[in-house]
Structure 1
Amino acid sequence: MYAFMYKNDTYLIQDANGAQDDITVNDSLIKLAGYHIDNLNPYVSGTEITI
């Protein structure tokens, strides 16, 4: 999973296959409108990521 900011919104990209560096049509893009990337507090448990 990758996180980045664009125009004050945070976006997450979930890599569908977990092995490629390129973004593909199978990957998911999630917009966290109004949520600043500095406030992310991810927790990883096995294969599950909680934000």
Structure 2
Amino acid sequence: MPPTTAQHHAEWLSLLEISGPFLSMPVLLRAFRQGLDARDTVQAANLRAAYE
């Protein structure tokens, strides 16, 4: 089962150093009601390889 929009936002938020009240779960759910676009797995793999 794919993650819910809230789970996806929570995962995304966990990658950031959060400072300030502007970036919160309610704000993300309001701004991105349908969630973020699906990531391109090929592009993600290329980025990961270039980073390493």
- What is the TM-score normalised by the length of structure 1? 0.26
* Larger RCO, structure (CA 8 Å, separation 6 or more): 2
Q: Which one has a larger percent helix, Structure 1 or Structure 2?
A: 2
- What is the TM-score normalised by the length of structure 2? 0.26
Q: Who wins on radius of gyration, i.e. which is larger? A: 2
Q: Which one has a larger percent strand, Structure 1 or Structure 2?
A: 1
